[in-house]
């Protein structure tokens, strides 16, 4: 558990993120990733990776290995094909939560070529997604995969638990992760002029570590100010703040009750 006692709020603007750009990929990294290394920006809590990627049609990440990481993929628009060495193959799309436990080792590919799986007409839409990595409780677990459709739950605009290892959320609809101190919540919020549902406001959980990422739109965070698309706020010993949408917005919130190294 965390030993931090002083609340702290740290805003990170989307335009300041490290970037990887090649012909088929536009990737923005909230933390050090690959050749982009900053010793002062390696993680927050148990979250090591928060990559926002746009991949052109027919392109993607060829088969590559992972170990000892809980990897959650959240698609914002378009569709992404997952294939792995355990025999899983399927299309990830908005509203479908997906988790891969790398454990002792797994190979997988991620490509924007859903037509090859679905036998549908070839599409020309880029896929836009966020991939997040959190540290598991222990290394060397059995690799695994899980996906779950939660689009209906998101329609209400509230903060929906998407992936969790926290015991407090065990009875909620969510994919399981092998990190008993972590949970990912997502809110699709409406603009303030919208009457009735969905909600225009959510309240953050209280936790030693929170990572709030604005995947789409623009929001106001109580005590912080305006966050724009691509912005993030890292909080320690905090929570309970209200988030209000200035326009239709999608917000990803990691709630964490420990950090890398246990400090």
Q: Is residue 21 part of a domain?
A: yes
Residue 104, CB-side half-sphere exposure with 13 Å CA sphere: 5
Q: Is residue 220 part of a domain?
A: yes
Asked if pLDDT for residue 242 goes beyond 70, the answer is yes
The pLDDT-based confidence of 107 (bands split at 50, 70, 90) is: very high
Q: What is the mean pLDDT of residues 51-63?
A: 94
Q: Is residue 16 part of a domain?
A: yes
Q: What is the mean pLDDT of residues 5-19?
A: 92
Report pLDDT for 126.
95
Q: What is the largest CA-CA distance in the chain?
A: 55
Provide the domain count of the chain: 1
Asked if pLDDT for residue 195 goes beyond 60, the answer is no
Q: What is the pTM of this model?
A: 0.92
Q: Which CATH number does the domain housing residue 164 bear?
A: 2.60.120.10
Q: Is residue 226 part of a domain?
A: yes
Q: Is residue 79 part of a domain?
A: yes
Q: Is residue 263 part of a domain?
A: no
Asked if pLDDT for residue 163 goes beyond 90, the answer is yes
Q: Is residue 1 part of a domain?
A: no
- Which domain does 125 fall in, by range? 8-256
Using an 8 Å Cβ cutoff, are 133 and 74 in contact? no
Q: pLDDT by residue (tens digit) across 129-138? A: 999 999 999 9
Q: Which residue has the higher pLDDT, 256 or 90?
A: 256
Does the annotation place 64 within a ligand binding site? yes
Using an 8 Å Cβ cutoff, are 48 and 133 in contact? yes
Asked if pLDDT for residue 118 goes beyond 80, the answer is no
Does the annotation place 110 within a ligand binding site? yes
Q: Is residue 175 part of a domain?
A: yes
Torsional class of 243: left (φ above 0), alpha (ψ -120 to 50), beta (otherwise): beta
């Amino acid at each position: 558990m965390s030993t931090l006692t002083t609340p702290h709020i740290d805003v990170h603007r989307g335009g300041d993120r490290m970037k990887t750009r090649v012909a088929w990929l536009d990737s923005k990294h909230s933390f050090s990733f690959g050749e982009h290394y900053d010793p002062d920006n390696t993680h927050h809590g148990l979250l090591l990776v928060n990559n926002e990627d746009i991949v052109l049609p027919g392109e993607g990440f060829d088969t590559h290995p992972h170990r000892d990481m809980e990897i959650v993929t959240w698609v914002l628009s378009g569709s992404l094909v997952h294939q792995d060495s355990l025999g899983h193959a399927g299309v990830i799309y908005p509203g479908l939560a997906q988790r891969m436990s790398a454990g002792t080792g797994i190979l997988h590919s991620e490509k924007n070529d859903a037509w090859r799986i679905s036998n549908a007409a070839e599409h020309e839409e880029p896929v836009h997604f966020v991939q997040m990595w959190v540290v598991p409780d222990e290394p060397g677990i059995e690799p695994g995969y899980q996906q779950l459709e939660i689009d209906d739950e998101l329609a209400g605009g509230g903060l929906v638990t998407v992936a969790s290892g926290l015991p407090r959320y065990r009875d909620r609809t969510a994919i399981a992760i092998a990190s008993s101190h972590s949970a990912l919540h997502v809110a699709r919020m409406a603009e303030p002029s919208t009457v009735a549902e969905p909600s225009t406001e959510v309240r953050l959980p209280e936790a030693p570590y929170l990572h709030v990422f604005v995947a789409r739109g623009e929001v106001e965070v109580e005590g912080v100010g305006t966050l724009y698309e691509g912005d993030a706020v890292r909080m320690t010993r905090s929570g309970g703040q209200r988030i209000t949408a200035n326009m239709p917005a999608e917000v990803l919130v990691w709630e964490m009750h420990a950090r890398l190294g246990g400090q």
